[in-house]
Amino acid sequence: MSKCDKCEHKSVIMLQHGPLCSKHFVSYFENKVFKTIQKFKLINRDDIICVATSGGKDSLTVLYLVKQYLKRQGMDSTTLTALAINEGIADYREKTLEDLRKFCNDYDVDLTVATFEEHLGATLDEAYPKINKITGKKPCNICGVWRRYLLNKYAKKLGATKLVTGHNMDDESQAIMMNMCKANTSLAAKLGPMGGVAAHEGFTRRIKPLYLCSEKETRLYTFLKQWKVEYTECPNVIASYRAEIRDSLNQLEEKYPGTKNGIVKSFLDMLPLLQSRELNKDSKYSGPQTCALCSEPSNATECNACKLKTILDGVNNE
């Protein structure tokens, strides 16, 4: 490795604008996150922040840096809470939750853990084969619906006005490509550093402070901070469409560095157009309905989480 661009020390990473040593990389990375929060106006002074966290590298990083940001801005960092969902994935989630409990304890953050089992009557491992038998859905499709459902429900319960997620540039470039490949422009309009097209009281607005940070940068940051982080992936990720898109983008990035950054930056240019098209299209749309079964916001009479639960209950009663 060559010398850091800013000092005499050995570099630990080669970025597009040059090599950086560990000290200069850490401050570059932290500044990038703080600037992202400010540039996209992700946090207001009166916001109550809840961080959706799994104990993985991205969520620990965002939890730590949002807390630092609040402190730097002279805002009340004691109201910040962490929220984790235990989906019930054997040999995986318990390990990351263990790291998370320790982390929250070390950094004095209140942690709430909601489980699929308690709220939906089954772990993901139990529910997946039963729901798959009827619908053909993959684990991530089921997990995603229930996870979003519980995150929103609990964020509201905790009084949060913003829900922080650890989505990084790699995640976002994958989501953009997935929606493009499936011609899902309505869903694409909900992406961006602040998720959703318009604010609605039924939903807690999601924000992504790591939006402009690559997976590689976040990994190096957690390594340099010497946090205990489980780097293993969820065993279900191999079965997902996202994993295929991820691998293709990684290949392109290897060959043409800056590809993911290019996808995200071009998407940011297009996003206002996509969002205004959605708002105009939905001018007669009066916002989400209330699910007839659970009273949570929903795009139909019953929410997707309840629909999946009904299918599961049906199989259990066979």
Site residues (vs Zn ion, CB under 5 A): 4, 6-7, 9, 21, 24, 291, 293-294, 303, 306
Cβ proximity to Zn ion, 114 vs 291, nearer residue: 291
Cβ proximity to Zn ion, 276 vs 310, nearer residue: 310
**Count of residues interacting with ligand SF4 (CB under 6 A):** 10
Judged by CB under 6 A, the chain residues 180 through 239 that form the site for ligand SF4 are 234, 236-237
**Residue 77 within binding range of ligand SF4, rule CB under 6 A:** no
Chosen from Zn ion, ligand SF4, none, partner binding at 6 (C-beta under 5 to 8 Å by type) = Zn ion
Cβ proximity to ligand SF4, 142 vs 263, nearer residue: 142
Judged by CB under 6 A, the chain residues 88 through 147 that form the site for ligand SF4 are 89, 139-140, 143-144
DSSP string, the chain: --B-SSSSSBPSEEETTEEE-HHHHHHHHHHHHHHHHHHTT---TT--EEEE--SSHHHHHHHHHHHHHHHHTT--GGG-EEEEEE---TTTHHHHHHHHHHHHHHTT-EEEEEEHHHHHSS-HHHHHHHHHHHH---HHHHHHHHHHHHHHHHHHHTT-SEEE----HHHHHHHHHHHHHTT-HHHHTT-SSB-SSS--TTSPEEE-TTTT--HHHHHHHHHHHT-----PPPGGGGGSHHHHHHHHHHHHHHHSTTHHHHHHHHHHHHHHHHHHHHHHHTTT----EE-TTT-SEESSSS-HHHHHHHHHHHHHT-
Judged by CB under 6 A, the chain residues 230 through 249 that form the site for ligand SF4 are 234, 236-237, 240
Cβ proximity to Zn ion, 6 vs 148, nearer residue: 6
Q: Where do contacts with ligand SF4 occur on this chain (CB under 6 A)? A: 87, 89, 139-140, 143-144, 234, 236-237, 240
